[in-house]
Amino acid sequence: MERVADHAGLRFPRRQFPRVKQPRARSQPRPAIAWFRNDLRLADNRALLAAVRAHGPVIPVFVWAPDGEGAWPPGAASCWWLHQSLGELSAALQAKGSRLILRAGPTLDTLRGLIAETQAALICWNQRGEPRLRTRDAKLEPALRASGCEVKTFCSSLLHEPANTKNQAGKPFQVFTPFWKHCLDRLEPSTPLPAPARLKAPASWPTSLRLAELKLEPVVNWAGGLRAAWQPGEKTALKRLRSFLQQRLATYEVERDRPDLAGTSTLSPYLHFGEISPRQIWHALQEQAGCVKATRGKVFRDSSRAGSSSWRQSRFLTELGWREFAHYLLYHFPDTDSAPLRAEFSRFPWRSEARWLRAWQRGLTGYPFVDAGMRQLWTTGWMHNRVRMVVASFLVKDLLIPWQEGTRWFWDTLVDADLAQNTLGWQWAAGCGADAAPFFRIFNPVTQGEKFDPAGTYVRRWLPEIGRLPNQWIHKPYAAPAEVLAQASIILGETYPEPIVSHSSAREVALEAYAKLKRAG
DNA sequence: TGAAATGTTGGGGCG
DNA sequence: ACGCCCCAACATTTC
């Protein structure tokens, strides 16, 4: 399949399939289908706009293919998010005089059926980068063309298309810094596209399932914490971006590492589902860097900063860079979602202590910083990134449990679960990936807590049972004197667990296992 | 986007 | 006054 290398605006695949002539209905031009995937937004949506610009009626559709079709089917938390997000998108489309058609079933059959029903002349979608979905889509395209429908696809979810970027040796980059520098030297993303003003409705709408019929919401009602923490949808995504830029960007460099503060953007789930595009974020950042608001409300160019590109070095943009890097790596190393990039790690002596895995998942390891993170994850579907690194290091290095167990758990529980980023994160933490943390970089859950949650606010929020411990002991209850524990109404092993492993000896064991791996060559 | 062990330095207490 | 020890503070090395 030929991908559209395009950041300058709308262009279409060069290799067009010869158009099949169809008898044209005289009354109304044939409709265009806008197939929504992980791009659940109206603004800056190339596929949607291409469907609108065909000047006929537009049929927006979402296809739920529950078996995942060889990819990773969304986990429980992602399904919850998807449900809410589809509801939001549907409402937004209605406000434009349109609808969202919901279908379920194998993607090709479902789309072919819809094309036949509606006599659609064109179907547009934004590409997804996950390797197995790409393979699948590559077959989808000619099959749909063969049924007489034109196909247009776009790259809308990344700033930089992975396919042709290589280092000087002609190989894919494996280190972040040169990769991102290479991108920054070339990136000049065009202005985000506006949301279409209106979508022309077809003469008659095809049938749609009701949202509830997709059965995305959990049967058992465990989603209360998610509901309290999140409002999915494009509108909220833009609101969060704006408030982040106004209130947090200035202090991001320092506060992004502090789970006790609200220092991060929390845009990750919105980005994953495409409720906001990286291009929109890029431009919002650029705008903010070039302009300052005067007190009288006038906006003028800040000559000291206008035209300067120092904002491109900003920490926040670098995080978007890591997102690009994750997708880039998964594109070039498509097996890394399950196998270590550094092959020698497949011989690492992992062990699988089921009780330990369970303790980790439940937030019962006896290390408060780890447990707080795991409970935040379980309750809200999200975990602060600093804490993700710490809990991952703990699972992989203190417990020596395979990193793939971690990816699975995160996949099921995170509302921002994203194959590329989950893969990068875990391979990074396990030391077996590209530009990964060296294996011997083993986080100490106590000192990490003391450093990044100095007053214990974060830990107390998620572990009320140890909330009465003084700061000195909040990150290491096991070391507190008996009378301090009694004072705080804590009985170790009953109200809060003893550490399931001793960090210092677990560290020694991990280093020895790693040394053995290296000796084996 | 580490932590722990080891090395170095310099000030202060003390004989 | 001086050497010695201790140890904190910081730097470097190692895993």
CA of A94 to C1' of B10 (A): 74
The CA distance from A164 to A186, in Å, is 13
* For chain A, percent of residues with pLDDT exceeding 70: 91
A507 touches strand B (CB under 7 A): yes
| DSSP tally for chain A: helices H, then strands E | 20, 7
CA of A511 to C1' of C12 (A): 21
CA of A341 to C1' of C12 (A): 32
Facing residues of A301 across strands? A291
Average pLDDT over residues A449-461: 96
Nucleotide nearest to A441 (CA to C1'): B2
- Count the Cβ atoms, other than its own, within 10 Å of residue A89: 23
Is A43 a residue whose pLDDT tops 80? yes
A386 touches strand B (CB under 7 A): yes
CA of A501 to C1' of C5 (A): 39
Is A69 a residue whose pLDDT tops 90? no
User: Which residues are CB-neighbours of A303 under 8 A, at least 6 positions away?
Assistant: none
- Sign for the pseudo-dihedral over CA of A469, A472, A473, A474: positive
Pairing, β A58-64 against β A150-154: unpaired
Nucleotide nearest to A511 (CA to C1'): C15
Residue A519 pLDDT: 86
Q: Tokens at residue A378, please?
A: 């379980």
Average pLDDT over residues A280-296: 78
- Sign for the pseudo-dihedral over CA of A238, A243, A248, A250: positive
A319 touches strand B (CB under 7 A): yes
Residue A477, SS3? helix
Average pLDDT over residues A324-338: 97
User: Which residues are CB-neighbours of A259 under 8 A, at least 6 positions away?
Assistant: A372, A373, A376, A384, A386, A387, A452, A453, A458
Query: Which of the nucleotides in strand B have any atom less than 7 Å away from a protein CB atom?
Result: 1-4
The pLDDT tens digits of the residues spanning A233-253 come to 999 999 999 999 999 999 999
A497, A365 Cβ separation under 8 angstroms = yes
In eight-state DSSP terms, residue A226 is H
Say which range, A23-37, A307-321, A368-382, A469-483, has the weakest mean pLDDT: A23-37
Is A119 a residue whose pLDDT tops 70? yes
The CA distance from A259 to A262, in Å, is 7
Residue A308 pLDDT: 67
Facing residues of A58 across strands? A32
A271, A38 Cβ separation under 8 angstroms = no
Query: Which of the nucleotides in strand C have any atom less than 7 Å away from a protein CB atom?
Result: 15
The mean of the pLDDT values for chain A is 91
Nearest to A284 by CA among A161, A186, A192: A192
Please name the residue whose C-alpha is nearest to the C1' of nucleotide C15.
Answer: A440
Residue A297 pLDDT: 43
Residue A27 pLDDT: 64
A444 touches strand B (CB under 7 A): yes
Is A191 a residue whose pLDDT tops 80? yes
The CA distance from A88 to A233, in Å, is 5
Task: State the catalytic residues of A.
Answer: 319, 322, 350, 385, 403, 426
A439 touches strand B (CB under 7 A): no
Average pLDDT over residues A67-78: 88
Alpha helices in A310-367 (DSSP H): 315-332, 354-362
Nucleotide nearest to A322 (CA to C1'): B1
A456, A475 Cβ separation under 8 angstroms = yes
A476 touches strand B (CB under 7 A): no
- Count the Cβ atoms, other than its own, within 10 Å of residue A485: 20
- Sign for the pseudo-dihedral over CA of A504, A510, A512, A515: negative
Going by pLDDT thresholds of 50, 70 and 90, the confidence category of residue A68 is: confident
The pLDDT tens digits of the residues spanning A336-382 come to 999 999 999 999 999 989 999 999 999 999 999 999 999 999 999 99
The CA distance from A360 to A373, in Å, is 10
Is A17 a residue whose pLDDT tops 50? no
The pLDDT tens digits of the residues spanning A133-169 come to 999 999 999 999 998 999 999 999 999 999 999 999 9
A257 touches strand B (CB under 7 A): yes
Say which range, A34-48, A113-127, A304-318, has the weakest mean pLDDT: A304-318
Domains of chain A and CATH, by start: 1-157 (3.40.50.620), 335-519 (1.10.579.10)
Nearest to A182 by CA among A198, A160, A197: A160
Going by pLDDT thresholds of 50, 70 and 90, the confidence category of residue A298 is: very low
Amino acid in the structure at residue A411: W
The CA distance from A435 to A360, in Å, is 26
